[in-house]
Structure formats: C-alpha cells, structure tokens
Chain A
Amino acid sequence: MTKPENIVGIEYNRVTNVSAHDIPGYKLGEDYAWSLEKFEESFQINIQHLTEKEANFDLVNIDTSVANAFRRIMIAEVPSVAPETIFIFNNTSVISDEVLSHRIGLIPLKVDPDLLTWVDSNVEEDEGKFTDENTIVMSLNVSCTRNPDAPKDSQDPNELYRNSNVYSKDLKFEPQGRQLEMFKGNPVEPVFPNILLAKLRPGQEISLTAHCVLGTGSDHAKFSPVATASYRLMPVIQILKDVEGEDAKKFQKCFTPGVIGIDDDGKAFVKDARKDTVSREVLRHDEFKGKVKLGRDRSQFIFNVESVSAMSPEEIFFKSVRILKNKAEYLRNCPIGQV
C-alpha cells in the first residue's frame, strides 16, 4: 500500500509534499533557516595571495549558488573597455580586414571602465551616439620599409626590414575632447605591449582607427575583465593507517609535490592539502587500499581570479558582489505586473 507521506499532492494550482525526507543524512527539524547573524559569524574570507594580476582567496561557509553567481558575474557581467568598431583606411597586408579587426578587438586595454559611460543604443550615430564620454579612439599607422643599413648576407626579416612586425604597442591613443585631461598621466595603452597583430613586407601598410567602448563579457568575450575566474573546493586528505618507509615515498609521489610530507620517523603526513589536484592516483595502488580517504570540503571555495584588464583582481571581485547586490535591490523595487 502507498504510504500517505509518499504521495505528492496534485492540487488545482499547486503541488504539495514534493520533497522526499527519507534520505540518509537528512534530519527533520534541523534549522537551516537564513539568519544574517549566523552568516556573519560563520562566513570567512581568507586571502592567500593578492598580486597586481592575480588573486587567490577562500570563501568559507557560503552557499554554492552565491559563490557561483560571483564567478559568473566576474566573467560575464563586470564591464570593461574593448575596441568595438574598426575603421580601416588602408590595409595592404596579407591579413584580411575582418581578421585584423577581430585581432585588434581582443587586445586588453588599460582603461578604467569607471571613466567611461555606456553608449546609448537608442541614439542615432549622427545625433551624437559616440562622444568623448563613452568612446576611446586608438589609431594604428604602420608601413614597412627596407632597412638600408641591413647586413649584406642577412636572412633575418627583423634586420632586413623596418616595421615588419606590427605589435599591440603600435596602437596609439588619440584623446578626444576632455579626454586629454581625464587621462593625463595615465594614457590608454594595451595591457600587453608585445601582442603580434600582423606581419608586413616592404611596401605594405596598415592604417586604421579603433573606437573602444564599454561592454560586458555576456555580449562578447573581449569585454570579459578576467582571463580566468574559477573556484574549486578545498581538497581533504585523511590518512587512516600509517604509511611508512619506501611506501611513504611512493605515497608522496601519488600527490602533487608539496602535498604530502615525510616526518623524521619516515611516516607520511598531510603537509598542504590545498596544493592537491585530487587526481585519485593514490587509489590505483593496492598497497594504499583502506589507508587513505580523499574528499573535498563543500563549504570552502578556493577562488582564483586572474585579471587581464586595467582593474585589479580584487576590484573585479568587489564589482561582482556589488552587481549581484544591485540585481537583488533593483528587482526588489520593481513593481510586479500581471501577464
């Protein structure tokens, strides 16, 4: 006979009793209700390292969905500036206009996105859609010539020709209107100066301007301010039975270097679980059967954020938190209409 507690109620406009409670590990009456005080108490941030381009920090005791929201926002919703429209005046190189334009679009630029406003897509181009407030102009003018001073028997294009390689550093900032003051002492330039854009031979020339605007990674990956923004769960390694002697050395080799240490008695111990990739190599060897237990801590997220924009990685994370907060507050204030 069907037990009453197993019946999912199908009513006119709702379903009831949808979730099963007979799951091992599920305790009825446990308090999982949201409490800001409890969250403030238990939530921790431990920064491991913070450099100009990379941040590594732990978020401890936060829900997966929120951690994932931060990650998604950092990749796709934190705005940054990238070339959007390329005007090509002359391009006699072997790289076609559209490929060259695409390559220029992908170059990360050192522009603080807060200094620009969004381009209003409702305004027509001849009505002042692009202004000094929302557009950065970069120009690229390179022509290749023979080097008259080249050694006679040289085969090296770098010696034979001038400007045979076009690099991202050849993009020059052309301040418009008030931008001369705004970017004083902090001119716009590519984050990485030596990105190869095209190769030229004598007589070939590239002449173009690039208009750079604000955008988000959800629109195009070139606007994403991060190279990677990812999290993983903290590895947990439990040694259940002692591993000693030669076995300990083999045991050590099953893990990423630095994870397992060997003490004075020749016993293996967990030195730094954070470094582990949880490869499961150790589980393939019979001699370690039942001696070790691998796992991951679901409450500890190790974030790694690598910036490729003018912003520092911690600023990108800050912005992601603010964007999620704005989303919630904006929706909270929206009137709820009827369909």
Chain B
Amino acid sequence: MSADNQEKSHEKMDIDSNNPAQDEEVAVEEEEEDDQDVEKIKILPGASEDGTAASFQIIEEDHTLGNALKSMIMKNPEVEFCGYSIPHPSEPKLHLRIQTYGNITAVEALHKGLDDLASLCTVVEEKFSQSVASNNYKTVIS
C-alpha cells in the first residue's frame, strides 16, 4: 500500500518540480554555502504567494522520515495534499509537497507534522519502557 502511495506522490510531484533551470540553481547555491543548518531544508521555487502551497527540499533524508512525515502531515484536517518523492536515488534529497485548504501555511503544517511525529515517538518510548519493566513476557524462546 505504501509503495502505491509513493508512486502516486511521484506523479503529482512531477507537475511542478520538473524544471531543469530551477535544478541548476539548486546545485550552484549548494556549493557556495557549507553550513548544514541552513542547507538542511529549503523552499523550492513555485510556492504560492500566500504560503499555503509549497514544496520543500530536505537534504540527507530518505523514505524513513519522508513517508512517516507525509502521513503525519496528512492527518492534519487543514491539509489538502501532502506527498513526498526522492527525485533521484543517488542524490540524498527529499522533496516534500504540502498544500493546505488556506487556513494555515505550508510551513505551519510542516512544523505541526514534525511536532506530532516527535510526540508520537515520546509515547512509543514511554510505552515500550513500561512494557519492558512490566516483565510480562518470556525471556527464553520455547
């Protein structure tokens, strides 16, 4: 099912991220700066002026974060569309597209998705420590 989703988002992403001129700009700027914090995430050209629809480029992330983040952002009722793609398998880049219904900006939706994902992890961690501490399991395989 998730493979199907990925393919769908690929098709949709192609609509506005297939401009070769834009890709060249990306390459030039990345050589100039070397600070990871500034490079990590960028807004791609083609975002709507009110900021309710935007594509982001995140470097050094893959399907691990991409798919989890996409599904968390899609759980936001204010978000109309969210999809991600790895434009090229040998470049460590993740493209993430967010469109909202207009009440919040794409950046706000992204930040909410990241916060939700972090809080989810906190719950998983807590529940797992509880389960490990409960000793309610076998310690030898029968």
Contact = CB atoms under 8 A, between A and B. Distances in A.
Contacts of A54: 141
A59 B115 CA distance: 21
7 contacts: A18-B80, A47-B137, A49-B138, A50-B132, A324-B68, A328-B65, A331-B61
B118 A334 contact: no
A155 interface: no
Interface string B116-142: 111111111101111110101111110
A339 interface: yes
**By DSSP majority rule, is chain B's interface helix, strand, loop, or mixed?**
helix
A68 B62 CA distance: 12
A32 B78 CA distance: 12
A49 B137 contact: yes
A45 B12 contact: no
A237 interface: no
A8 to B, nearest CB: 10
B76 to A, nearest CB: 7
Give the 5 A-B CB pairs with smallest separation, nearest first: A325-B121, A34-B75, A49-B138, A47-B137, A65-B67
A329 interface: yes
A62 B131 contact: no
A77 B64 contact: yes
Contact of A337 (B38, B61, B70, B137): B38
Contacts of B75: 32-34
B118 A328 contact: yes
Interface of B: 1-2, 12, 15-16, 22, 25-26, 29, 37-48, 53, 56-58, 61, 63-65, 67-72, 75-77, 80-81, 99, 107, 111, 114-125, 127-132, 134, 136-141
Nearest to B22: A339
Given A13-B47, A317-B128, A331 B40 contact: yes
A332 interface: yes
Interface string A26-56: 0000001110100110011111111100100
Which of A32, A317, A336 has the largest count of B CB atoms less than 10 A from its CB? Answer: A336
B64 A46 contact: no
Nearest to B47: A13
A36 B116 CA distance: 8
Given A63-B72, A328-B114, A334-B41, 11 more contacts: A34-B76, A36-B119, A45-B128, A45-B130, A49-B137, A64-B1, A66-B71, A68-B63, A328-B115, A329-B118, A336-B41
A330 B117 CA distance: 12
Contact of A324 (B37, B65, B115): B65
B83 to A, nearest CB: 9
A294 B133 CA distance: 35
Nearest to A53: B141
**By DSSP majority rule, is chain A's interface helix, strand, loop, or mixed?**
mixed
Q: How large is the interface on A (under 10, 10 to 19, 20 to 34, 35 or more residues)?
A: 35 or more
A40 B126 CA distance: 10
Contact of B114 (A318, A322, A329): A329
Given A66-B120, A336-B43, A51 B68 contact: no
B68 A69 contact: yes
B42 A14 contact: no
A15 B12 contact: yes
B127 A45 contact: yes
B1 to A, nearest CB: 7
Given A43-B123, A50-B137, A336-B41, A325 B118 contact: yes
A59 B56 CA distance: 31
A339 B58 contact: no
A96 to B, nearest CB: 30
Given A328-B117, A332-B111, A332-B115, A338 B128 contact: no
A140 to B, nearest CB: 34
B128 A322 contact: no
A336 to B, nearest CB: 5
Contact of B80 (A16, A68, A329): A16
